[in-house]
Structure 1
């Protein structure tokens, strides 16, 4: 499970790996495992490029073509997808979240040739949004609110995590996706609120240097077992950078995993005590 981003934050920033911060959303056990694999919660080689799968060869002269991306089917989505303690989750909110996750799922399955199970994915996204709302409601009830300074700091952290120079560059990148600065800051405020709430309610600890070195050594061994490196475009192999270069990234992954696990547990407890109905 991941800290929620609304709308383009969920779509655009996830696309630029807003992973550690982006969405502590509720998910089922199998989805949590998938989320951990894609969001840095699992043991992955830091900064490794997946290349988006193997392209299909075709055309004249060995040209490579990517298979056509399928389209998300939202024709059966009701106007009110769910109600959470009297708060409605609209079709528009659902579609924004669903289309982003559908794109990611479709890209991941390009290499296998399998189709995305849209019925299952819709249920997962609806559950995520319900848990987002439950967590935000609980955070607000606990008195956590984001100040302008908190929002600025959140956007600066997003910029740092994604190799951007400043919060303004994050805003600019999302404006190019059709999102207004007001909405970007609103979503960043929600992210801050949720992150602060999870940190308040859960015992999240920074990993020790020894723990990080152990994790790093495991990644190196996994790479050796896979043949010494991942195959990248052009036939070159990617290698795990030195420990000192990825130490901070590994630490963030560890914290994110703890946050995800805590958020999943808290959201489950809130759902049991809350009034939730889902129309999908």
Structure 2
């Protein structure tokens, strides 16, 4: 089975497919910010005529990039992820042969590999606990992906171009539904205390320095700040889940 789009969940999966054949208004990460949004608009196609496949050295990547608890992960997902990141750079008008792009992509290689391994461990753990994805849940995620395209036919054309069947796409979606269910079952929505909110706001004021007068008042920013801190707490829990799974897992990296 050719799994190509299974790193960051179905949100990115939709973006990956849309970038190949649909229309998407999502924006790319900047090399300088590592995961921050950019306000740059994609340049005209005349300005960018590079092919990621001609720049990225993927021929020397082994067919199996890693083995996780006896399960091999083939190179397709890794190569597709690198190509996607290269396309995001192109969308910002950054030449792939530039030193900036080369440095960014080199930094991402290890990051992407570890993310792929982490996702596979979580999905395996979900399978071990008997967590399943219903047809209704898969259909709902598939509808989100289809909405990135002008029509279902365009989605099917894109899948055909990628050599991915609808059954394989549904299987990937199923994996991520199970992944999300596992994470939800093993994390809790921790409360954020008033003291934590105030401390976080005070830190923002201190960092802003002379520009602190432009910050919204604490009460006006309270709800947004609370959501941000809760997200950080959940991310800490996810990091702990991954750390625990890694201690229990047998991982061999072949790159």
TM-score range relative to shorter protein: 0.5 to 0.7
Name which of 31, 47, 56 aligns with 1:66.
47
The higher radius of gyration belongs to 2
Q: Tell me which residue corresponds to 1:22.
A: none
Deviation at 1:278, TM superposition (A): 0.9
| SS of alignment partner, residue 266 of structure 1 | helix
Query: How large is the RMSD of aligned CA atoms in angstroms?
Result: 4.6
Name which of 177, 195, 201 aligns with 2:180.
195
Deviation at 1:146, TM superposition (A): 0.1
- Gapped regions of structure 2 (runs ≥ 5): 1-6, 215-219
**Whole-angstrom distance in 1 between the partners of 2:25 and 2:47:** 20
Q: What TM-score do you get using the length of structure 2 for normalisation?
A: 0.62
Q: Tell me which residue corresponds to 2:107.
A: 120
**Whole-angstrom distance in 2 between the partners of 1:85 and 1:275:** 5
Deviation at 1:9, TM superposition (A): 4.5
After superposition, where does 1:1-280 map in structure 2 within 5 Å? 3-5=8-10, 9=14, 11-12=16-17, 17=26, 34-35=34-35, 37-38=36-37, 50-52=39-41, 66-69=47-50, 71=52, 72-107=56-91, 110=94, 114-117=100-103, 118-156=105-143, 159=144, 168-169=146-147, 172=152, 174-178=155-159, 179-204=164-189, 260-280=235-255
| SS of alignment partner, residue 34 of structure 2 | helix
Between the two proteins, the alignment pairs up a number of residues equal to: 214
Change (3 A) 1:271 1:73: same
Q: What TM-score do you get using the length of structure 1 for normalisation?
A: 0.57
- Gapped regions of structure 1 (runs ≥ 5): 20-30, 39-48, 56-62, 160-166, 229-242
Q: Would the aligned equivalents of 1:136 and 1:194 in 2 still touch at CA under 8 Å? A: yes
CA deviation profile, 1:203-250 (whole Å, cap 9, x unmatched): 23699xxx8xx99xx9xxx9xx7xx9xxxxxxxxxxxxxx9xxx99x9
